[in-house]
Amino acid sequence: MKFMAGCTCSAILGGLFVLWMTDPAPQTAAVAQDPFQTAQVSPRPSAQAPRRGPEIPVRGPADPGAGGRRTGAVDQFFEDDERLTEDEAVNVGVYEQTNRSVVNIITKSTRLNAMWLLELEEEGTGSGTVLDRRGHILTNYHVIEEARQIAVTLYDGTTWEATAIGADPVNDLAVLRIDAPEEKLFPVRMGESSGLRVGQKVYAIGNPFGLERTMTTGIISSLNRSLKIRGDRTVRQIIQIDAAVNPGNSGGPLLDSHGRLIGINTAIASRTGQSSGVGFAIPVNLAARVVPQLIRHGRPIRPEIGIQRVYETEKGLLIARLTPDGPAARAGLRGPEIVRRRRGVFILEQIDRSAADLIVAVDGEKVRTADDFLRDIESRKAGERVRLTIIREDRELQVDVVLGSGESPPVPSSKEKTL
């Protein structure tokens, strides 16, 4: 009997213990009923390490004490918010970091109506990028070309009158300046374009159709494209992208996954004028070379060699015209000779191209096209010495030319190329 009583008591006590263990605590149930609130207050414990977003520098809201400077670290939101994939975190991070560096440009110009002989006012829009806290804005030249008034709208909606302080029509670049307070200006981080690769992810931010600070994503589709920007002037090393670029995006930044400026969106290939998945951007390395000259001098200061025109041949570049008393002429280079013959009362002139020098190399590097030659010269500085290898009367000669300082070169044309 004692044994049976002991078993019965043990069974009763065991059942009570099981019921006590399986009864959930009220506060635990309340937390589970509101998982969104729980996630916002504190992360749920997990056996796995918390998923962290990619460590890219993002810029949070402006801190009055820090002047709105970049934090230089990943925002805690991206580390803890499990609603974002790593790819989405990069997208959001790039936008948060750079969107305040993008401005909306509004221009007003006048156009003459040929039929009614009336001046009509036209309004245009484009995009730009804040370069520094002194108010310098980088954009395309065609955005502000022939503009009578230029206004720049910042991220906070404030609009400032802008002045064009420098322009490079050949490379479709221009620099504006606004007198906005430093705390309103968020300069973009400068990248570099020489190490870009096809397939690399890119971001375009601009104002398509007036929709301010719109971001699109894509990849680099190709590199080193040639693009005729003005007339027959060809710009090399253009970046081709498939990110959506539409009217109003011109002059806006092309960014890499770290939010660094790698290009300036400038054109699209389209029959309708809208995005077709083929866009083009000027590489930032070209802009980095030209912009300081635009700020300092208002125009690009390019090295001048004093050769105005050349003929492209299979062997090299045949000089078609020299600048009188220019660097090449002073170095002894020869162009075509003009032969005059009298025919009765008439004097006929004939150009003898066989007397012109044939340029085959620059500093030992073979040159085939006028664009190659011009790009080589433009990469140098005024006062620099270059050695040209030429063919003269079937003899190979070396001629040293000290580069001068000149303005933008003329626009090349067809087979006869202008330098």
The DSSP code sequence of 38-82 is HHHHSPPP-SSPPP------B--SPPTTTTT----B--HHHHH-T
- By CB atoms closer than 10 A (0-12, 13-18, 19+), residue 58 is buried
- Give dist(CA 108, CA 124) in Å, integer: 6
Is 142 one of the catalytic residues?
yes
Q: Considering the candidates 168, 172, 242, 371, report the single residue annotated as catalytic.
A: 172
Is 46 one of the catalytic residues?
no
Is 232 one of the catalytic residues?
no
Q: What are phi and psi of 6, to 5 degrees?
A: -65, -40
Q: What are phi and psi of 106, to 5 degrees?
A: -120, 130
- Give dist(CA 137, CA 211) in Å, integer: 19
Q: If DSSP codes are grouped into helix, strand and coil, which group holds residue 180? A: coil
Residue 309 · residue 302 · CB < 8 Å:
no
Q: Considering the candidates 250, 256, 275, 371, report the single residue annotated as catalytic.
A: 250
- Give dist(CA 101, CA 159) in Å, integer: 14
Q: Considering the candidates 75, 101, 127, 142, report the single residue annotated as catalytic.
A: 142
Q: Which residues contact 325 (CB under 8 A, 6 or more apart)?
A: none
Rg (CA), the chain: 33
Order of strands, sheet of 159-161, starting from the edge strand that comes earlier in the sequence: 159-161, 149-153, 102-113, 118-130, 136-139, 173-177, 163-168
- Give dist(CA 392, CA 397) in Å, integer: 7
Which helix (H) or strand (E) segment holds residue 189: the answer is strand 189-190
Residue 107 · residue 126 · CB < 8 Å:
yes
Which positions are annotated as active-site residues? Answer: 142, 172, 250
